[in-house]
């Protein structure tokens, strides 16, 4: 709810594992709210639903959040830390061995930027750093809020390739976007959202 109005209403959605779903809609359509609900960042005020087998009405949201990964278009890390320091923080918090960092950095093509402070990265590099956080975690459910915003064609291609790989490995990926994906590599399910509802599917 926001200002007495429901952020989402009448949303009926089922996501299968190893799939890519794109929520398409204008600003205020409810895409981010739906992603935040799926991530356990906001609670369910009415209705019912479950994510990764956890009932949204009763679940300890912290328990759900540990199993999902979030990438926002603004960035997902500490701006005053370097790429390596951000990933080291995440790895230590998750109890992951630090020797996985080089592999992850190599995968997102940031190995040469490991000592760059995050706020000095370009939009595309910041998005790759966000992906590196997620690759460290390998969550079951990836929730990406407008990840394609302000990416150039190379950035989009890189992103598509990585998401395709993630889905292939069994993860469920939900992405929000203003426009349907124009990807040669991915065949996502597209859900059109408007006014907090899902109004179409393709």
User: What is the binding site for other proteins (CB under 8 A)?
Assistant: 36, 39, 41, 61-62, 65-66, 68-81, 85, 89-90, 92-94, 117, 130, 133, 137, 139
Query: Cβ of residue 55: shortest distance to other proteins, in angstroms?
Result: 18
Closest by CA to 94, choosing from 125, 140, 129, 133, is 133
Nearer to other proteins, 54 or 81 (CB): 81
| Residue 90, burial from CB neighbour count under 10 angstroms (0-12, 13-18, 19+) | buried
DSSP one-letter code for 30: S
Nearer to other proteins, 93 or 161 (CB): 93
Query: Cβ of residue 187: shortest distance to other proteins, in angstroms?
Result: 27
Query: Cβ of residue 123: shortest distance to other proteins, in angstroms?
Result: 13
Nearer to other proteins, 90 or 167 (CB): 90
Nearer to other proteins, 60 or 201 (CB): 60
Distance of CA 108 to the CA centre of its chain: 15
Closest by CA to 22, choosing from 10, 35, 33, 9, is 35
Asked if 201 and 192 count as a contact pair (C-beta separation under 8 A), the reply is yes
Query: Cβ of residue 145: shortest distance to other proteins, in angstroms?
Result: 8
Q: 197: which strand partners?
A: 194
């Amino acid at each position: 709810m926001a200002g007495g109005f429901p952020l989402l209403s009448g949303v009926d959605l089922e996501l299968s594992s190893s799939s890519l779903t794109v929520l398409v809609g204008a600003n205020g359509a409810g895409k981010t709210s739906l992603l935040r609900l799926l991530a356990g960042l906001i609670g369910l005020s009415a209705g019912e639903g479950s994510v990764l087998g956890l009932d949204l009405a009763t679940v300890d949201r912290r328990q759900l959040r540990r199993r999902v990964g979030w990438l926002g278009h603004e960035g997902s890390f500490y701006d005053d830390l370097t790429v390596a320091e951000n990933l080291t923080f995440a790895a230590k918090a998750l109890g992951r061995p630090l020797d996985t960092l080089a592999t992850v950095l190599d995968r997102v093509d940031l190995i040469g930027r490991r000592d760059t402070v995050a706020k000095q990265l370009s939009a595309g590099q910041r998005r790759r750093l966000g992906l590196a956080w997620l690759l460290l975690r390998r969550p079951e459910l990836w929730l990406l809020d407008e990840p394609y915003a302000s990416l150039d064609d190379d950035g989009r291609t890189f992103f598509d390739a990585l998401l395709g790989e993630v889905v292939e490995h069994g993860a469920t990926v939900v992405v929000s976007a203003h426009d349907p994906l124009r990807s040669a590599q991915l065949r996502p399910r597209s859900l059109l959202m408007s006014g907090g509802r899902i109004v179409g599917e393709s």
